[in-house]
Structure 1
């Protein structure tokens, strides 16, 4: 197996693991947790839960607060970038335009990874002084950003080494 194929395999593995971490981060409700009086609470970018009662959060930035609204939009932009990059890679491989499509896929995944890291950083900055603690869904967001950075890098490098 050549260097380009090895890098592509590594990039694909990182992409799969990054996607699993990203999806888990987005669908679980534990970005931040704590105890309010006697009831435990937790929330993510789309839901707020007190005890076992969960409610969807608003899309109005005035109601939900910038600490939720900005990271939510950034995470959705990152998801779109990664999805488009993945589609470009798949179509390029199927149409035999492998080198150019892999470079484009890797670049879009890298950009999506940076946006994920910015979203997690904004969430950290805007909620660091609030009650509660960061929970596993939040950390999975950071992990997915790191894995997508590796995936995009490996895929871009595999395009440079492919024939």
Structure 2
């Protein structure tokens, strides 16, 4: 074997390793966009900003381990035991003012500080509290509406309308600011 042949083998080996890393990271990002909670453009901007140092260091970064949420809207079902019969369950809106989600844990888990609004009878319409996220799809919360404790339930409906491709492009666009 000549010295030049060994150099060619090393280059081929390094190229093969690079392809495997790229493939692995692409699959990780596909999993992130498919399995994690939905994200609004604000969430994407916050997460990109938060992980900016990591993005600067390596162009082939892995997806974040934790998602952060700011001003994230959700449609909810609001249960109020103290409301009159027939008016105990109402649809409404929740805003997650600040939250996190460990999207890739064996059992994904997160939490958010929320404000809710529902057209409730004989109970204050707006409330504040905490919402817990499980399995990247389901959220259960508890709020305080005036003198009443309430329960909030939602599923990640935004995920139905989310475009993996547009989220990926949004991450790239934001990340380019840091390169």
Shared topology, TM-score over 0.5?
no
Choose between structure 1 and 2: higher helix proportion: 1
TM-score by length of 1: 0.30
Choose between structure 1 and 2: higher strand proportion: 2
TM-score by length of 2: 0.28
- State the structure with bigger RCO (CA 8 A, min sep 6), 1 or 2: 1
Structure with larger Rg: 2
